Chains A and B, each alone.
Chain A
Amino acid sequence: MDAMTLAPFLGGLVLAPLLLGIVTRTKALFAGRHGAPLLQPYWDIVTLLRKGATYSRTTTWVFRAGPVAGLAATVGALTLVPMGAVPALLRFPGDLVLFAYLLGLLRFMTVIAALDTGSSFEGMGASREVLFAALAEPALLLGLAAVCLQTRSVSLSGILAAVTTTTWSAQGPALALVAAALGIVLVTEAARIPVDDPTTHLELTMIHEVMVLDHGGPDLAFILYGSALKLWMLGSLLVGLVVPIRSGHPILDGGAFVAGMAILGLALGTVESSMARLRLVRIPKLLVGATALALLAIVLVSR
């Protein structure tokens, strides 16, 4: 096993919090502040890991299992995600379905741990999270299916390795539609503006953040790290699709991919600084729109 096989997995594990740091720093610069250091998410996680956890007497083992099982599902999903042309650690036909449902398992564990606390706010956040996830899932799977049809491959590594500049010039409109759908899925699943505000302090408007309010110490560290990994993975799919540099040279391809991720971080920060959150009732409309875009991409590809 050479080093390149491990690169997407280890790269994701190491660099994921940095992407979060880039987003935060971009937002700070837009607000005219100097902002936290780029490595701040790492220090946050280390600080939390050194603390002890406090558990309410009303919670059961489900609450304690949630963050651990969630992080395990996320790391499992990361083994399936390629870095553009560099194939993932594990790849087999149909791995994109496993990828989608490992993310589903992470969501299930977060939701069930939130419900276990018995807090009404956390129940509200859980119901919103599940509603939006149910609407985002068809957009993700249909979008990936469109690229599958185009590239005649049914594994994430195969798909992204087959997307080249020639694919883009032949099927540019369809791929652009898929990229738009994946972008909407990314901001929904990773709980970013305009769907959810990760820095909000008002429980009534929270979606993802409200579910993890009762976690502390190492548990919270696992959750923060898990959501950084989730952002990294969905971003990897988007960047792998949009940056079609397939020179065959692993270092060059990997470099282009990492540069693409940095640009994605800047773009996310820019969007978050220049947009307000959508009202909750309008988010389903956005997600149904993403599904319609993915459907249109399938139509374009299959004709």
Chain B
Amino acid sequence: MSPGAGVEAVLALVVITDLLLLGSSRLRSCIRVVAVQGIMVSLLPLFLHGGEGAARAWALTAGGVAVKGAVFPLVLLRVLREAGVHREVEPFVGHTLSVLVGASALVAALWVETHLHLPATAAGPLAVPVGLATMLIGLFVIVSRRKAITQVLGYIVVENGIYAVGVALVGGVPLLVELGVLLDVFVAVFIMSIAAYHISREFDHIDVDQLDRLRG
């Protein structure tokens, strides 16, 4: 298989994980799906910049897989266990409709990309639209779901989208900057998970739409 086909397969899997996240109501499988997506996105530098500076690409991939594929799911699954919540019961937008929204986000991202006049990249013509669509879908997950955990997942998905666009467009970001961003995301998810844990301990639920009705 040529490297182009490898990138294409990875991008297709990213979109499929987007749609699975939108269509799935079990929080446990949502977390797994986002972990798979994180691993897929982390593989991109290896396919794109594996030739020159191989050590850098490997370091990025290893860091991404470790944080997004192992640490995030473990932390989130732990919060889930403590909170005793298993399903996204009544999202603001239903799951089937969400999948359609995700498909239209992909079409919108493709349309936007044709109007952007971006420089041609080694990642092929699909990386930028898929990244944009992933960002849009992440934002949509944040606004359309009730549980705090799903919103953390939406945040991770947005970050995955930004990362995909960044890797495709800018090849030469220093390793230190990339790892710093990864660390930022890690800390953000960590703090959000702790916040979700404390919400669930204090109020016995993690429904964010009920937070505005709380009185001390």
Contact = CB atoms under 8 A, between A and B. Distances in A.
Given A289-B99, A293-B16, A300-B126, A170 B110 contact: no
A172 B124 CA distance: 15
Interface string B88-104: 00000001100110110
A293 B95 CA distance: 16
Interface string B1-27: 110010011001001100100010000
A300 B8 CA distance: 8
Interface of B: 1-2, 5, 8-9, 12, 15-16, 19, 23, 95-96, 99-100, 102-103, 106-107, 110, 124-126
A291 B106 CA distance: 13
A96 interface: no
Contacts of B102: 292
B12 A295 contact: no
Interface of A: 169-170, 172-174, 177, 284-285, 288-289, 291-293, 295-296, 299-300, 303
B96 A296 contact: no
B5 A296 contact: no
B16 A296 contact: yes
A295 to B, nearest CB: 5
B110 to A, nearest CB: 6
A301 to B, nearest CB: 10
Given A292-B19, A295-B106, A299-B106, A284 B12 contact: no
12 contacts: A172-B5, A173-B5, A284-B96, A285-B95, A289-B19, A292-B19, A293-B19, A295-B107, A296-B12, A296-B103, A296-B106, A303-B124
B129 to A, nearest CB: 8
A223 to B, nearest CB: 31
B125 A300 contact: no
Contact of B110 (A289, A291, A299): A299
Contact of B99 (A170, A173, A174, A292): A292
